[in-house]
Amino acid sequence: MFSALRMIFIMENKIKVFLVEDEYVVREGIKNKIDWEGNGYEFVGEAGDGELALPMIQKLKPDIVITDIRMPFMDGLELSRLIKKEFPWMEIVILSGYAEFDYAKQAISIGVAHYLTKPINSEDLLSQINSLAERIEEKKQERKLKEKYIAEMAENRMEERRDLFRHMATGDMSLSGIIELARQQGIDISAGQYNILLFQVISGHHSQTEYSGSVVSIYEKAVDIAESENALVFDRSIEGKAIVFRADSKEEIEKIRENVTSRIEELVSEYEHVALHGGIGLPVARLTELPECFRQASQAYAHRFFTKKSGIRIFAPAEHNAEETFSLSSVDPNKISRNRIIEFLRTGQKDEVEFFMDEFIEGFGEGALKSAMFRQYLATEYYFAVSTFVEEIGGDRSETQAFDMAAGDIRDKDSTRDYFIKLTATAMDIRDAGAGNRNKSVIDEAKKYIDENYSDEELSLNKLASHVNFSPNHLSAVFSAQTGMTFIKYLTDYRMNKAKEMLRCTSKRGSDISYEVGYKDPHYFSYLFKRTQGVTPTQYRNGQGGPDHGQA
């Protein structure tokens, strides 16, 4: 008699059975004398030996494999070892005409479910298989819940990958720490050569913080292109993507880099009103040299503020001519454009200021800033560009007035560069303070929406982003910055705290609580509760586990 769980499983699924038996008569008897379908099973295939069976099993992925122990080419024990190594969840039933203890002992060590001696009739075999059905359903349910949990926690994993790239790019963590962090994420970062590509795809019909359908599609295809070359891809939120190339030699990494960048550029060219901007560093041989490669890629990437041309730029060290002389007529007025400076102030990041400044100053040539007249002219233009920007965003222009007096102190290229960097950083602080206030109000609205809709199972980052009128990518970055955690962690913690409150303060059933906190599947709620709180909902209700045990 089947259990209720078994009956539900029969109605919703069919357990797949595969048979491996070298004796044709025995194989036909097992296959034909059992009413597989009537008993809730699907007989998916058969083979005469282990060697023929293995590729079929890999393709069909049966739930149960019934195999003879002694067969030509590959016996049942070797087949069982290979199956358990690749598919540990599969159940194996071994049939043997031999009752030697050594065979049974080996079968047990492999993880075989049943070791049956021949001859065995179809009723006894079916009885043994039925005994496995509930175990199979439990394993399937566990895998299903785990897969759902992993899918829901994708945002957390993306944040972890961002952190890994940040440590790699800045060198603010020890080499052993970076290697361990990568290992925890299932990433092998060892290689003979490395290089970094930073790139961003922008649609002319959308703002910096929005992603059109074409941009999303390009990013997805670009990721596939990079990963096909064994490169690591990291999301940089509204700053686009970063690709870390890995190879054994300089020649190989250059070949990979050329292939990936040309394919991405070709991909973008297929879309109208879409621009691609990217920067690549020079190859390095050590992980500890990646910060220098990142600096080079960032400087090349900063060139996007100085050109309207779409494409990926390779870092080139500046070449200076000691005998270079300066003539005002040699300066391209477009390079001093206030609009270019204001555009950087609008969309650039604070950690890009130095790279932008290197590109900005190098564009005038070595001799230009040796001229006191030109330095003063340039400082004046830069100051008024910054002041105009601060006024545009509703900032207090008096915060930049100190730089009006300081402009007279610039004496050479280095002091000019330092003056521009400080002035730019001040303007960005004003910008970010205003944006921070705006972002805080957006996150306050997002929290309010979560409070009012946490019981909605369909509540997601996309749905929340639509409510606050942000792109999901931008909201994810802002939410993490404002709250110190990802959206999915915040939502999960919120729901778990509501569930704990109801478990301790009400007599509601676990399934009702599950539904009320946004989980229509009570099994998944229980799985998630145990995963994040360390105890089951029932154990928590009975006093086990503390209120601060959450680990979501």
**What digits encode the pLDDT tens for the residues 216-261?**
889 999 999 999 999 999 988 778 899 999 999 999 999 999 999 9
What Cα–Cα distance (Å) separates residue 386 from each residue in 350, 394, 422?
15, 13, 11
Is the pLDDT assigned to residue 211 strictly greater than 70?
no
What's the pLDDT band for 366 if we cut at 50, 70, 90?
A: low
Q: Looking at per-residue confidence, does 286 or 326 come out higher?
A: 286
Handedness of CA 474, 477, 480, 481 (dihedral sign): negative
Of the two residues 427 and 400, the one the predictor is more confident about is: 427
Q: Other CB atoms closer than 10 Å to residue 275's CB: what's the count?
A: 17
198 forms beta bridges with: 242, 279
SS3 call for 407: helix
Q: What is the pLDDT of residue 397?
A: 66
Is the pLDDT assigned to residue 100 strictly greater than 80? no
Assess whether pLDDT exceeds 50 at residue 2.
Answer: no
Taking residues 453-468, report their average pLDDT: 91
> What letter represents residue 307's amino acid?
T
How many Cβ atoms from other residues are within 10 Å of residue 547's Cβ? 11
Identify the band that residue 408 occupies on the pLDDT scale cut at 50, 70 and 90.
Answer: low
pLDDT at 208: 43
Confidence band of 405 (pLDDT split at 50, 70, 90): low
The mean pLDDT of the chain is 84
Confidence of residue 349 (pLDDT cuts 50, 70, 90): confident
| pLDDT recorded at residue 1 | 41
Q: Bigger pLDDT: 37 or 1?
A: 37
Q: Find the helix packing angle between 122-152 and 4-12, rounded to 10°.
A: 70
| pLDDT attached to residue 4 | 46
Q: Per mean pLDDT, which range of 77-81, 143-147, 168-172 is the poorest? A: 143-147
- Amino acid 68: pLDDT: 86
3-state secondary structure 160-222: HHHHHHHHHHHCCCCHHHHHHHHHHCCCCCCCCEEEEEEEEEEECCCCCCCCCHHHHHHHHHH
| pLDDT value of position 333 | 60
Residue that wins the pLDDT comparison between 483 and 4: 483
Taking a C-beta distance cutoff of 8 angstroms, is the pair 139, 521 a contact? no
Q: How much is the average pLDDT of 3-20?
A: 64
Higher model confidence: residue 467 or residue 305? 467
| Model confidence band, residue 550 (pLDDT cutoffs 50, 70, 90) | very low
204 half-sphere exposure, CB direction, 13 A CA radius: 8
Choose from 202-206, 222-226, 392-396 the range with maximum mean pLDDT.
Answer: 222-226
Tokens of 316: 């080139």
User: Is pLDDT at 207 greater than 50 in this prediction?
Assistant: no
Phi/psi-derived region of residue 441, left when phi > 0, alpha when psi is between -120 and 50, beta in every other case: alpha
Torsion sign over Cα 328, 333, 335, 341: positive
pLDDT computed for residue 209 by the predictor: 42
Alpha carbons 528 and 223: distance in angstroms, whole number: 30
Mean pLDDT of 255-278: 92
pLDDT of 136 strictly over 80 = yes
pLDDT band at 552 (very low <50, low <70, confident <90, very high): very low
User: How many other C-beta atoms can be found within 10 angstroms of the C-beta atom of residue 363?
Assistant: 16
What's the pLDDT at 102?
A: 67
pLDDT higher than threshold 50 for residue 464:
yes
| The pLDDT value given to residue 342 | 86
pTM for the whole thing?
Answer: 0.61
Q: Which of 125-139, 278-292, 510-524 has the lowest mean pLDDT?
A: 125-139
> Does the structure show a pLDDT above 90 at 537?
yes
